[in-house]
Amino acid sequence: MFDFLQHSKKATYPIPSFTCSTGTSSLNIAPRSVHELHPSDIKVVAAMGDSLTAGNGIDALTIIGDFTEYRGRSWSIGGDGNLNSRLTLPNILKLYNPNVRGWSTGTGNVNSAGAHLNVAVTGSIAADLPDQARMLVSRINADPNINAATDWKLVTLFIGGNDMCEFCIDPVKFSAANYANHIAEALDILHDNLARTFVNVVLIFDIAPIAAMDGGFFCNLAHTLVCACGKDKGNADLLYDASVAYQMETTLLISSGRYDTRDDFTAVIQPFFSNTVPPKSTESGEIDLTYFSPDCFHFNAKGHAASALSLWNNMVESYSEKKQEWHLNEPFYCPGIQTLGVRTGPYLATSLNSA
């Protein structure tokens, strides 16, 4: 009866061997500077954003399953399983510090027991980030297992898909300047209230190629309902220009030095989504739907794994060499070891330690 809802493109991402040394930082003591931060120094992980961080549809088998938030399997904050079973950023960090805290488990919304420091809310736009920032600060301060003053924290911020989907309706409200201003307001809250914090600011991608792709009747219906602006192929150039403007305004904000006024806080652009487009199938030449959930809009487990690997590699790549596409079919990059000709330093890369 429900065969029409079945998703036949489920696939897994081949997890490469993690060959990086997982020893501690050289002095075996917590660093005083965020520019000398080794992965083993991270004690707390957190994330902010929308449904792509909430984890909608990651393990869904039908389009109805896209309403489920698989937070424990989200690319930037999920902690279900381990790196042998789930490629997520926290599962990489567990290899360096098995006691890292904050990652999400299981399914549920932002107020579920397993959400922990994943404060992403499905449907959010950039204007919602300040409230998420306040929620995150509150949860960190309220957690008896976190020393807010001394524990080094890694926060990943990713937002913009829903802003882009509304851009055609109100280009002034959803302008690049307003988008960046909302991010700035959220980062200001983190900067004013959190010590020892490294923030990944992940740039938004162009949504038009995803929203316009043909995945069958139900995918097309879902795209029309949730992102009519992107579904209309006539808006492709408009949305591409908007995505570039979003990226530029965000980059200008971070490169201004606004968040480099203390030794224990920084925000770093991670650009791997900047030029990412839906992968093509080597067999048909069409968009490879095995990276997407049944609604052909959200990423599934394979898409989240590719995003997690790309985020990790961006984090350790030298600042000027950060790749602006998904690191598909590539190995894990290791701190301090050149991989595929890409330079990496011994610490998480910042503008200052990469100079």
Task: Give dist(CA 89, CA 249) in Å, integer.
Answer: 26
What is the per-residue pLDDT for 180? 98
pLDDT digits (tens, 9 = 90+) for 272-329: 999 999 898 777 778 888 999 999 889 999 999 999 999 999 999 998 889 999 999 8
Q: Pick the catalytic residue: 50, 128, 163, 295? A: 163
Residue 298 appears among annotated catalytic residues:
yes
What is the per-residue pLDDT for 27? 47
Task: Give dist(CA 219, CA 343) in Å, integer.
Answer: 41
Q: Tens digit of pLDDT per residue, the chain (355 long)?
A: 333 344 445 577 889 999 999 976 554 577 889 999 999 999 999 999 999 999 999 999 998 999 999 999 999 999 999 999 999 999 999 999 999 999 999 999 999 999 999 999 999 999 999 999 999 999 999 999 999 999 999 999 999 999 999 999 999 999 999 999 999 999 999 999 999 999 999 999 998 888 777 777 768 777 777 788 888 889 999 999 999 999 999 999 999 999 999 999 999 999 999 999 989 877 777 888 899 999 988 999 999 999 999 999 999 999 888 999 999 989 999 999 888 888 888 999 999 988 7
264 within 8 A of 195, measured Cβ to Cβ: yes
Q: How far is CA 165 from the centre of its chain?
A: 18
Q: Pick the catalytic residue: 7, 298, 304, 327? A: 298
288 within 8 A of 217, measured Cβ to Cβ: no
Q: Pick the catalytic residue: 25, 40, 51, 74? A: 51
Domain ranges of the chain: 3-321
The closest of 205, 234, 235 to 297, measured between CA atoms, is 205
Residue 51 appears among annotated catalytic residues:
yes
Fold of 3-321: Rossmann fold (3.40.50)
